[in-house]
A and B are shown apart, each in its own frame.
Chain A
Amino acid sequence: MRGMLRARSARVMHEQAHGPNMTPMVDIVMVILIFFMASAAIMGPEWLLRTALPSPKAVGSAAAGDVTPVSASVQVVGGSFRVVLRVGEARREAGVESVASEAASLAREFGADRLVVAIDADAEAPYDAVVRVHEAFVKAGVTRIGLPAPR
């Protein structure tokens, strides 16, 4: 009991003289900082969208199989751009903002697992728009999305 009191009074005297010991707090903050940095480095701030690079032969065989080929083309008209979706003879137009709902509609109509989407774009079209069209079909559950070779 007397020893404990002596130890406590020594700690109080030390704190009065030098302030609280910050070293354990600094160590813990450093460890937390490293943990979050390492987890951020592993998870990364970036995502990856896998896109196929089909050969013209593969595009032809996809059209012949039991699938529904969809052509999504980002076209620049004047200063703005639009997305033209072609399924067989049918043709739909959408803005980049509304292409997600069109993609979801196609997935519901034909089945997401049956859709094979080929994305094309004018050279002047923004790369961002091409990626957003890709994203719209990924969100709709389509897995077979590619960038066909230019004709």
Chain B
Amino acid sequence: MRRLAIHRGASGSHINVTPLIDVVMCLIVFYLIVGRLASTNGQAVAPPATGVGDTAAMPRLVVNVARSDSGAIELSLSGTSLTLESLGEALRLRLGDPPTGEVAIRADRRLAWGDVRPVVEACRAAGLSSVKLVTERNEGATR
């Protein structure tokens, strides 16, 4: 009788890990979604859609350019809000002298070139020889 109980205890009872897996999976999904939303820093930026582009990894430094509800141009560098005057200095600090690294500009498609050009010039003034313009993937584009 005692042998039977021990045998049952060894083979029949084990920890059910299924609820643990479910909860962990839900947490992973939650943090993936939150991380994706947080990367845009709350700014509603809709980049221009293009049918071509580079699929390389996004550079570490991304300048978001968007227009706020009040009509003012809002800038952020990798999630940190700043002004156009401080953008050049922030880029120089982060890129070093001579600059190492790349910068991507994610500007809203509804902006005028005059709104984006100062950002491009700030990158040039920081010593960069190229930038990457972020566009929205539109593989079905026929234009």
Contact = CB atoms under 8 A, between A and B. Distances in A.
B25 A49 contact: no
Contacts of A54: 129
A131 B135 contact: yes
Interface residues of A, number: 46
Nearest to A58: B129
B58 A44 contact: yes
B38 interface: no
Interface residues of B, number: 48
Given A47-B136, A128-B109, A53 B128 contact: yes
Interface in B19-56: 21-22, 25-26, 28-29, 32-33, 36, 47-48, 50-56
A150 interface: yes
Contacts of A53: 120, 123-124, 128-131
A11 interface: no
A132 B117 CA distance: 16
Contact of A135 (B32, B50, B114): B50
Contact of B132 (A33, A37, A50, A139): A50
Given A48-B135, A51-B130, A41 B36 contact: yes
Contacts of A139: 51-52
